[in-house]
Amino acid sequence: MAAKIIVACGSGIATSQTVANKVSKLLKDRGVDADVEAVDIHSLKHYIKSADAYISVVKVTEDYGIPVFNGVAFLTGMGQDEELDKLIDAVKDL
């Protein structure tokens, strides 16, 4: 079963879509089966209920009960490998 990963930013259009596409490709390259979906921050509570992981482009203060990852790392590339490794560890056994 594919892991469900949500990426959210303010509008759900440009930034979260860019991160979602990049993460999807990186996971595929590593052989990880995952559905990565970009959403706007206002719809997050609806989508997070069925997600296995959340990649946040904005600072998170709420606990969603699932692992949360730094989306800026995927956007800029700084710290990306470390964040990707943590993400894979979190979803690899799903």
For the chain, the distance separating the N- and C-terminal CA atoms, rounded to the nearest angstrom, is 7
Q: How high is the mean pLDDT of the chain?
A: 92
Query: What's the full length of the chain, in residues?
Result: 94
Residue 4 in contact with residue 34, Cβ under 8 Å?
yes
Q: Using DSSP, state whether 9 is helix, strand or coil.
A: strand
Give per-residue pLDDT as tens, 1-38: 799 999 998 766 789 999 999 999 999 999 999 999 99
**Both structure tokens of 53:** 């992981």
For 3-78, CATH number? Answer: 3.40.50.2300
Q: Please tell me what DSSP assigns to residue 88.
A: H
**What residue spans define the domains of the chain?**
3-78
Stretch 70-80: mean pLDDT: 95
CA 72 to chain CA mean position, Å: 11
